[in-house]
Copies of this chain bind each other. A is one copy, B any other.
Amino acid sequence: MISFLNDYSEGAHPKVLQRLVDTNLQQATGYGTDNFTTEATAKIKDAIDCPQAKVCFLTGGTQTNQIVIDALLQSYQGVIAVDSGHINLHEAGAIEFTGHKVLTLPGKAGKLQAQTVADYVQNFYEDDSYQQMVFPGMVYISYPTEYGTLYSKQELTDLATVCRKYHMPLYIDGARLGYGLMSAAADMTIKDIAQLADVFYIGGTKIGALCGEAVVFTKNNEPEQFYSFVKRHGALLAKGRLNSLQFLELFTNNLYFDISQHAVAMALKLKQGFLDKGYQLYIDSPTNQQFFIMDNQKVQELSQQVLFTRWEKYNENQTIIRFVTSWATPEKDIDQLLALI
């Protein structure tokens, strides 16, 4: 059965796995002090054009969000997120586990607006009764968002401006960063991301790696004793090489971006195919996640031959469904899907 369930159904890109094989019996020191980590860090700093960056390799997205947010917040602070944000809905309370409240604000097409943030935070400086509320200490967004949409460079610049005004770091969850940046709709590069964000992560798990996310602190703002902090969260791998070697390969010869581009191309072909057959978009996504509205009966039929996600009920007769492509999606699977709808 062909699958469009998610972007983490296969192992790693073959070149990434080959790098692990090639280096397998070389000895390396533990806990991220090894040379592979040094090399991978240099590659990333170069790619983002940010010489002062500090890079730390972690293993998964929820772990990364938990650690970065807990590290940057003071203990009495909360993190602002759009209400559809991954940290609010789909991380089983990993942020609250560290004692911090997720302060949710409404968004548009999955995106947080700079003005919404400014209006909210301003209250804390004007109204004494806000002292009984959780003080907002940072802003979390995803690029692309949970709905596959993209912030424009202007939108992100506006958010960053508000964040700086109120001394809140801007953190960008880049679980699917490559799939966003390689969209034709993106008006930014990874260098812009590095400039606008105070901290962001480059997602590996969903883009070619077995596991691994690269956290980047861009403004000389790596928290003190971050190594201990990661250890204490149970996230410090003895074999730091596992994550760093994968990123070393992904950031060699543009691999990360090339395989991201493939996924986006597949998604757009899929999208066009649905539109051509008269299906309605639930949301207009230019990246590797596509959302459609489909009659329940058709959903039922299609699910006999294709794996995809029933996102939520649209109305009594129709369902919102999601299709995801990845670095590993063969074009023939798209053709086969389009023949079925």
Contact = CB atoms under 8 A, between A and B. Distances in A.
Interface of A: 3, 5-6, 8-12, 14, 17, 20-21, 23-30, 59-67, 70, 74-76, 78, 89-94, 96-102, 129, 131-135, 205-206, 210-211, 224-225, 227-229, 231-239, 241-242, 309, 328
Contact of A24 (B14, B30, B206): B14
A231 B92 contact: yes
B229 A76 contact: yes
A210 B238 CA distance: 9
B24 A97 contact: no
A40 to B, nearest CB: 15
Contacts of A8: 30, 238-239
9 contacts: A10-B24, A20-B210, A60-B235, A61-B238, A62-B236, A65-B234, A74-B224, A75-B229, A92-B228
Question: Assembly of this chain: how many copies?
Answer: 4
B27 A66 contact: no
B94 A228 contact: no
Interface centre among A29, A75, A210, A225, by most B CB within 10 Å? A75
A297 B158 CA distance: 35
A13 to B, nearest CB: 9
B25 A233 contact: no
A231 B75 CA distance: 12
B17 A29 contact: no
B17 A21 contact: yes
A211 B232 contact: no
A95 to B, nearest CB: 8
A231 B132 contact: yes
A11 B3 contact: no
A241 B211 CA distance: 10
Given A3-B27, A97-B99, 9 more contacts: A63-B234, A65-B234, A66-B234, A75-B75, A76-B225, A90-B133, A93-B101, A131-B231, A205-B237
A236 B101 contact: no
B237 A59 contact: yes
Nearest to A7: B238
Contact of A211 (B17, B135, B242, B328): B242
